[in-house]
Amino acid sequence: MAPMLELAPGLIHLPAFFDRAAQERLVDDLRAAVAQAPLFTPRMPRTGKAFSVRMTNCGVLGWVSDAAGGYRYQAGHPETGAAWAPIPPLALTAWEAGGYRAPPEACLVNFYDGGAKMGLHQDRDEQALDAPVVSISLGDSCLFRFGGANRGGTTRSVRLHSGDVVLIGGESRLCFHGVDKIYGGTSTLLAQGGRINLTLRRVSQPPVEG
């Protein structure tokens, strides 16, 4: 594993956290997760505009969005009602690097084809804002952009590669961020190309320790 890089206070990049064998095992687990709870196309609240990224989830809660219900976490698939598959055990090793006292409840799985992007946004649908969001990149590299906690400030860009982990906590937990570009043909992990990002999240405030 390469050394960690602190991109901003609380924003930690762990390049090559997962080796190739681990990346392949994660992809195998994700195939099973998609078989159980198929990819869906989320839609913006109110307008119903489709995201270019397709999604599924693992864990007891999954993040979903549609015109009528908006952004939310729920226990089942928005179209089939199926329960989400368990979070892959290897993904939990990246969560442990974040040092939070309770396990993640949700693992959002984003699938980017060559043309997909994600606009600048904050992750603020969780109650446990003291918990980091832990991101795992698989497949083609991307250009990731992040700024501060206010929209419209200056931003910086970083490339994320297959096997990289990013911990988004502390002062950076509410930073604006997005994915500007996928670099096609930069990884052989996924036979059809594209990029997968897993984000592990604690949604509810954990119970107080007894």
Q: Does 135 bind ligand MD3 (CB under 6 A)?
A: yes
CB of 116 to ligand MD3, least distance (A): 9
Q: Which one, 154 or 209, has the nearer CB to ligand MD3?
A: 154
CB of 195 to ligand MD3, least distance (A): 8
Q: Does 138 bind ligand MD3 (CB under 6 A)?
A: no
CA distance 32 to 45: 29
One-letter amino acid at 183 equals Y
Upper half-sphere CA count for residue 42 (Cβ side, 13 Å): 25
CA distance 87 to 76: 14
Find out whether 130 and 170 touch, Cβ atoms under 8 Å: no
- Cα distances from 12 to residues 44, 134, 167, in angstroms, run 29, 10, 5
Q: Which residues pair with 110 in a beta bridge?
A: 55, 197
Q: Does 56 bind ligand MD3 (CB under 6 A)?
A: no
Partner from ligand MD3, Fe ion, none contacting 197, C-beta within 5 to 8 A by type = ligand MD3
Q: Which of 23, 42, 146, 200 binds ligand MD3 (CB under 6 A)?
A: 146
Find out whether 186 and 114 touch, Cβ atoms under 8 Å: no
Binding residues for ligand MD3, rule CB under 6 A, total: 17
Q: Which of 33, 78, 104, 123 binds ligand MD3 (CB under 6 A)?
A: 123
* Candidates 20-28, 33-41, 99-107, 166-174; binding stretch for ligand MD3 (CB under 6 A): 166-174
Q: Which of 26, 61, 64, 175 binds ligand MD3 (CB under 6 A)?
A: 175
Q: Which one, 29 or 111, has the nearer CB to ligand MD3?
A: 111
Q: Which two tokens stand for residue 144?
A: 């990731």
- Cα distances from 67 to residues 52, 81, 88, in angstroms, run 15, 18, 30
Helices (H), the chain: 20-36, 89-97
Q: Which one, 10 or 76, has the nearer CB to ligand MD3?
A: 10
Q: Does 203 bind ligand MD3 (CB under 6 A)?
A: no
Q: Which two tokens stand for residue 163?
A: 């096997």
Find out whether 187 and 162 touch, Cβ atoms under 8 Å: yes
Q: Which one, 30 or 175, has the nearer CB to ligand MD3?
A: 175
Q: Does 108 bind ligand MD3 (CB under 6 A)?
A: yes
In the complex, the residues that contact ligand MD3 under the rule CB under 6 A are 11, 108, 110, 118, 123, 133, 135, 144, 146, 166, 168, 172, 175, 177, 179, 197, 199
